[in-house]
Structure 1
């Protein structure tokens, strides 16, 4: 109840800000000042360059703005004579004096040169917002967030609006895990994406883009949207870099370096890091079993204690070559090596119908894990002019291995499991962008993705004899070819973008031990449409539609049995079909001097949605029935939701941003299985309708002595499922930081999960069993980090622009207008 009151107060609080912000000055007749800002050497646009318009011989700006990703700006002012100043961090500013502006005026292209003097000193400038809200996406800038210092990419994502990460590292967007995660615009090649994100250090990340309704230029994969993680790429002239050291409780250590050396033609960049992490967790499952007449049969209480240790090394090295002023070629190698130990101890306590203790047993799972991931990427960009006409080509080749060897000691059994996975993947991509007329743009492209995965899994008993029912050798091959085209144009205050993507998929799922071969071939068209209306310079309305696809992958299709628990087991389903989603989104964005407000209503209609079902196997372990959990294609799911994001800066020393999401999910379908004891067919009705919500608020305050304090609180609401319900979950993180050594270094201290409350709690209701479960993957953690910068401004020019290639997606263009 206290948590509900807390969120209600937040909504009322921000509603008050919104109403206050609406009371702006009366509108005046104004004219528009437009232009573009480019980097002089590369002739590439500079995003987030600042334009200030002042009265002559006055230093106080009366109007201003920033450039968009194309380097374009537009500022409205009353007719008159002004001084105009164009600035960008680490660049020499440009001033236009005594400019007489009586009508709409285009200043043309303004070229800025790097300021060598600034590059050799630390310059403290005003930080840009942690969260930027754009029409088609939200951009979360990692560099200024103390909360993730010394953390991982999972910690970063857990601070991003609309995104949440559960205690097991699974990422969801707007309450759905049906998403696509990209790194520099390319799908993550890791076999276990959740584990890979927990191993990649946060300081390697530049920003995160959240795209809830992607256009045709993006992969059709990801029914609920795309999360694009953009890695750092240094852009400062000369030699510069950053070192970060961290330590924490439970035992955690980390050391990383980001180095960059740039000349006029070549830019060398590298990132390397080592981390040792300890995650302590635990949980419980209390079950009650029933006889056929509904009376209580027995009780079983399971207590789980987990400890996971990870040693991780990651390195990335690359070179960007300016072949010509309009041609750039970047090559990079990424390498990641991880090893670890997993200890999972489960104690079982048995009780009779009167809840009298009858006996106990245990199950100890000791696992050694390891993975090696290597990837080569190449990117070529050819700019035909400075108006956006360009051709890009990308190549990615990767090889990933993931091994796990477990020794399971249980009373009275003993088992050994082995899981070896090898994945190879090649991706090819080409995108062409052609501006047409004023505000028009044509795009077309191709992408090919070719991969295969071999997974050997087996379980042996105490005599080292392989269990054929639990062992298999899986071969998974996936070839996808895609073509897309889209056209955008602007008419007065309306902007339009229409696209069509075609994808052809060929998948083979082969079980080599049993000679069971499955082939799935299908091709689909994926249309998309976006309409934007510019209500004013500060507000826009958008409406969009896209068709999306979700392919079953990884553990969803692998029939290997997860044997971490011998009474609650998981098994993949190689016969899963892809699910198709029609997405509709209506959005509104409004900007004031101190407030940015973005809201949207969305609807998703999904066919053949994936759903997990729990069924009895007919087997017993110490008298306890074994329950199997597996994914199936459920009939249909419809989701309707409302979301808003609010950024508010009441004072220079206080910044607030919040995110609220409410949604209703309705699913219809049924599951049939054969009862292993009676041989009868059992039909499970899985129809379900549930409401849930999610809220997050982030506050950043500058305290006396220039100490920064950041506080984040979040709450996941309760949600009903087809076979039970998930309870609400509250969490809070906090951090303090202080710049030292003449602002060349920063000390940060953060606490993750302050109240140790991020625990997954759920109820499961089956025909002959009810269960209550708790699971906490990671308990409260403390972390201390030290960051040192040399020859690099604190606000980092490369945090504000990546003029050549930011890995911002599968295609090349931006929303017109």
Structure 2
């Protein structure tokens, strides 16, 4: 109660006085009024912001909402007969018949209790038992349930269990529809954090939804050739104080702990929310690379370990100034520390090359901060609004590493190298969006955006300055969308105009400065056509043009990682790649669920791809632009209930593409080559309901081989078992999972350019997980007018990402 009083004193006093004064208006002489008070039937507490609808002969005449104290007064009504409907999410609707006459102009309905609606409340649980997949006009939404949460402790681990997405278990690189050029967003906002870091540090229990936007409309940032993956963190708007606690332990070679806490407090005009996630554990992986380079045949073995601790916190509030004005703020704070240590063991077939044993020890930390402000103005007409949003992100990531080279045969010291890398990135985005429903079937969306991103990297070798890299880009854009509905058809067309400016400077001791500058004006059109011949059938055809601008890691020439024979670094000379993307999707609703199938085609210009080439005694793993490319494929997924006790999420996909470009085919020799690559993937997740509270899960995934110009990645598969049991009258859930039952999941490859090689990477894929989730608080959901982009639904409000 003290907490509530403090909040009201700090934020609500003035507005509460306004709300109280607003219920004392002056009435017109020949008009009437309706008043009353709405309370919860069980607790007898007043309910604010309840919808009051006044109808005359089933036509809406006027309406209003209750004040902070649950009271309402609707004035200036003609003296007639009316029907009053009292509507509130989570409660049963109450209807009252009212008659206003000269003798009884002002009707007081007194106190009206509202009763909970069990059916509605069931649909707004904090976490559902089973994950669900919803197909929207331009995206696929995966609502994360307990089955996915128990699949792993981090976002990266559960990503491998959803359709169309794959995560490289060695590097955490993410791909969508077989392509790694994908844009990652957190709550619809970009971040300077590397995608691999994001996936490692976000606890799975903090994720509400994962949205796959394979062909975004013109209102969205066009970056990311294969589309956008938006990770939506938990946040709710229930009245009162409520929340949930999640705790889990994963047992591999060593235990890993993950926990999260979600809290929400809703009172009057304010909604406060926050969540905190914690991950801690030691991770281990090992493997080998066998090289058959002439006169340098070798076997490289590596043993890598990492100790990781991360904290992720989100705090925010919504302030409902009045019915037409809303102000929102939130901040994400991410703090993590990594300690990576291990060794690489290089053994040449010819002893004269000098075998090496290289222990390494690396410590890094990451501090990422995001601050978001949003103001939304709703005009008189429903759906007519203007929204201003400012988003600022800062990321600071220092690393300190030590590499020691020893003679493998006798252990004598050869040399040591210390690496210190400083990385500081900043990102500012300002959006202004306008939506106007011109008619009941026509909607206009307009928007402006300004983005500025800059990053500074410094590299010190053996405590002495070696090089630094600065990179800045500014993008100004404007978009327009026009949507039209008629009968069973829906159409949306739009275009986005962008002015892109980028500038980079690379300085290295003893080398000439490397400069890069780019200035591009581009237009990105998009169209969507939907046909719904019946409630059970839906067809969607769409087109968009997209761009994949080189990321910082792809252009940064400062090394990403190093071994005695291999360095990984970026290429400052990369140019953007452009893609024309076409999709056709069909959704069929059946008695047992919905099935969505689709085909797609992409025309890719100047494709950015990984390359391997030699540079003296070392191999360089980098990036380059290849020739134009074509890619096409199909997907099918279903969310099905075969029996009352058996449901499943099933997905299949296949992709085919022709990859071509100039590569090093043998050491020192470059040629133009092309290959046809086909990849097939399949996933199934079954849920079996033994009792009302007991569930079992059986899931499996298969990822087919993939082919690039220089390597072939071999097929991978695994099977998982899980169970969950509800306790404490449904408020608590115990979950357990055994992953990779047959210990078959590992990454293996074969290559023949520029020389024959093969390798395998192994990690703690086989593991056991046990977790507990507890939900508390008895708040009821309220129908707030939170900005549409909070859910990032194209059919809703306008928005630029």
Q: Structure 2 length normalisation: TM-score?
A: 0.81
Q: Relative to structure 1, is the Cα distance of residues 743 and 164 closer, same or farther in structure 2, using a 3 angstrom cutoff?
A: same
* Alignment map for 1:658-807 (pairs within 5 Å): 658-671=650-663, 682-704=669-691, 706-767=693-754, 769-792=755-778, 804-805=787-788, 807=790
* Alignment map for 1:409-558 (pairs within 5 Å): 409-411=404-406, 412-460=414-462, 471-513=466-508, 514-558=512-556
Partner-residue secondary structure (3-state), 2:161: coil
Mean CA deviation greater in 572-581 or 320-329: 320-329
Partner-residue secondary structure (3-state), 1:221: coil
Mean CA deviation greater in 656-665 or 644-653: 644-653
Structure 2 residue 183 is matched with structure 1 residue 180: yes
- What is the rounded CA distance, in whole Å, between the counterparts of 1:134 and 1:371 in structure 2? 35
Give the drift of 1:224: 1.0
Structure 2 residue 167 is matched with structure 1 residue 165: yes
Partner deviation per Cα, 1:81-123 (whole Å, 9 max, x = no partner): xxxx9999733356899xxxxxxxxxxxxxx99867989x999
Partner-residue secondary structure (3-state), 1:566: coil
- What is the rounded CA distance, in whole Å, between the counterparts of 2:606 and 2:88 in structure 1? 50
Partner residue in 2 for 1:63: none
Give the drift of 1:150: 6.5
Conserved in 1, the CA contact under 8 Å of 2:243 and 2:264? yes
Q: Relative to structure 1, is the Cα distance of residues 129 and 565 closer, same or farther in structure 2, using a 3 angstrom cutoff?
A: closer
Partner residue in 1 for 2:139: 137
Conserved in 2, the CA contact under 8 Å of 1:618 and 1:675? no
Partner residue in 1 for 2:634: 642
Partner-residue secondary structure (3-state), 1:187: coil
Partner residue in 2 for 1:282: 286
Partner residue in 2 for 1:261: 265
Partner residue in 1 for 2:624: 632
- What is the rounded CA distance, in whole Å, between the counterparts of 1:94 and 1:210 in structure 2? 39
In the alignment of these two chains, the number of paired residues is 691
Q: Relative to structure 1, is the Cα distance of residues 539 and 392 closer, same or farther in structure 2, using a 3 angstrom cutoff?
A: same
Structure 2 residue 305 is matched with structure 1 residue 307: yes
Give the drift of 1:723: 1.2
Give the drift of 1:735: 2.1
- What is the rounded CA distance, in whole Å, between the counterparts of 2:644 and 2:796 in structure 1? 35
Partner residue in 2 for 1:109: none
Partner-residue secondary structure (3-state), 1:217: coil
Q: Relative to structure 1, is the Cα distance of residues 365 and 489 closer, same or farther in structure 2, using a 3 angstrom cutoff?
A: same
Q: Relative to structure 1, is the Cα distance of residues 420 and 114 closer, same or farther in structure 2, using a 3 angstrom cutoff?
A: farther
Conserved in 2, the CA contact under 8 Å of 1:147 and 1:733? no
Give the drift of 1:267: 0.3
- What is the rounded CA distance, in whole Å, between the counterparts of 2:788 and 2:488 in structure 1? 29
Q: Relative to structure 1, is the Cα distance of residues 673 and 433 closer, same or farther in structure 2, using a 3 angstrom cutoff?
A: same
Mean CA deviation greater in 357-366 or 234-243: 357-366
- What is the rounded CA distance, in whole Å, between the counterparts of 1:741 and 1:614 in structure 2? 57
Q: Relative to structure 1, is the Cα distance of residues 531 and 766 closer, same or farther in structure 2, using a 3 angstrom cutoff?
A: same
Give the drift of 1:753: 3.0
Give the drift of 1:403: 1.4
Q: Relative to structure 1, is the Cα distance of residues 43 and 423 closer, same or farther in structure 2, using a 3 angstrom cutoff?
A: farther
Conserved in 1, the CA contact under 8 Å of 2:321 and 2:327? yes
Partner residue in 1 for 2:383: 388
Partner-residue secondary structure (3-state), 2:196: helix
- What is the rounded CA distance, in whole Å, between the counterparts of 2:373 and 2:795 in structure 1? 16
From 358, 362, 367, the equivalent of 1:372 is: 367
- What is the rounded CA distance, in whole Å, between the counterparts of 1:154 and 1:115 in structure 2? 42
Partner deviation per Cα, 1:103-155 (whole Å, 9 max, x = no partner): xxxxxxxxx99867989x99998867622223322111114435447611212
Conserved in 1, the CA contact under 8 Å of 2:132 and 2:639? no
Instruction: Provide the alpha-carbon RMSD of the alignment.
Output: 3.2
- What is the rounded CA distance, in whole Å, between the counterparts of 1:157 and 1:797 in structure 2? 29
Partner-residue secondary structure (3-state), 1:154: helix
Give the drift of 1:317: 1.1
Give the drift of 1:198: 1.0
Structure 1 segments unaligned to the other structure (5+ residues): 1-39, 46-84, 98-111, 291-296, 620-625, 677-681
- What is the rounded CA distance, in whole Å, between the counterparts of 1:343 and 1:500 in structure 2? 49
From 202, 218, 222, the equivalent of 1:200 is: 202
* Alignment map for 1:207-286 (pairs within 5 Å): 207-249=209-251, 250-286=254-290
Give the drift of 1:341: 0.6
Partner-residue secondary structure (3-state), 1:561: coil
Give the drift of 1:707: 1.5
Larger Rg over CA atoms: 2
Partner-residue secondary structure (3-state), 2:293: strand
Partner-residue secondary structure (3-state), 2:197: helix
Identify the structure with bigger relative contact order (alpha carbons < 8 Å, sequence gap 6+).
Answer: 1
Q: Relative to structure 1, is the Cα distance of residues 179 and 236 closer, same or farther in structure 2, using a 3 angstrom cutoff?
A: same
Partner-residue secondary structure (3-state), 1:197: helix
Structure 2 segments unaligned to the other structure (5+ residues): 1-46, 53-84, 98-111, 407-413
- What is the rounded CA distance, in whole Å, between the counterparts of 2:733 and 2:759 in structure 1? 41
Conserved in 1, the CA contact under 8 Å of 2:346 and 2:564? no
- What is the rounded CA distance, in whole Å, between the counterparts of 1:757 and 1:278 in structure 2? 21
Conserved in 2, the CA contact under 8 Å of 1:658 and 1:697? yes
Partner-residue secondary structure (3-state), 1:756: coil
- What is the rounded CA distance, in whole Å, between the counterparts of 1:465 and 1:329 in structure 2? 49
Partner residue in 2 for 1:362: 357
Partner-residue secondary structure (3-state), 1:809: coil
Conserved in 1, the CA contact under 8 Å of 2:130 and 2:147? no
Q: Relative to structure 1, is the Cα distance of residues 810 and 241 closer, same or farther in structure 2, using a 3 angstrom cutoff?
A: closer
Partner residue in 1 for 2:100: none
Partner-residue secondary structure (3-state), 2:616: strand
Structure 2 residue 377 is matched with structure 1 residue 342: no
Partner-residue secondary structure (3-state), 2:756: strand
Give the drift of 1:274: 2.3
Give the drift of 1:585: 0.5
Structure 2 residue 607 is matched with structure 1 residue 604: no
Q: Relative to structure 1, is the Cα distance of residues 96 and 584 closer, same or farther in structure 2, using a 3 angstrom cutoff?
A: farther
Partner residue in 1 for 2:70: none
From 559, 566, 580, the equivalent of 2:557 is: 559
Partner deviation per Cα, 1:457-479 (whole Å, 9 max, x = no partner): 2333xxx666xxxx420001011
Partner deviation per Cα, 1:151-185 (whole Å, 9 max, x = no partner): 11212322222112120211111111111111121
Give the drift of 1:360: 4.4
Conserved in 1, the CA contact under 8 Å of 2:276 and 2:314? yes
- What is the rounded CA distance, in whole Å, between the counterparts of 2:676 and 2:155 in structure 1? 33
Give the drift of 1:316: 1.4
Conserved in 2, the CA contact under 8 Å of 1:343 and 1:367? yes
Partner deviation per Cα, 1:247-283 (whole Å, 9 max, x = no partner): 2222212332111000121001011232212221111
Give the drift of 1:385: 4.3
Conserved in 1, the CA contact under 8 Å of 2:734 and 2:771? yes
Mean CA deviation greater in 427-436 or 380-389: 380-389
- What is the rounded CA distance, in whole Å, between the counterparts of 2:434 and 2:322 in structure 1? 19
Q: Relative to structure 1, is the Cα distance of residues 114 and 603 closer, same or farther in structure 2, using a 3 angstrom cutoff?
A: farther
- What is the rounded CA distance, in whole Å, between the counterparts of 1:801 and 1:42 in structure 2? 8
Conserved in 2, the CA contact under 8 Å of 1:91 and 1:113? no
Partner-residue secondary structure (3-state), 1:234: coil
Partner residue in 1 for 2:35: none
Q: Relative to structure 1, is the Cα distance of residues 95 and 358 closer, same or farther in structure 2, using a 3 angstrom cutoff?
A: farther
Partner deviation per Cα, 1:672-698 (whole Å, 9 max, x = no partner): 79977xxxxx33223221111111111
Q: Structure 1 length normalisation: TM-score?
A: 0.79
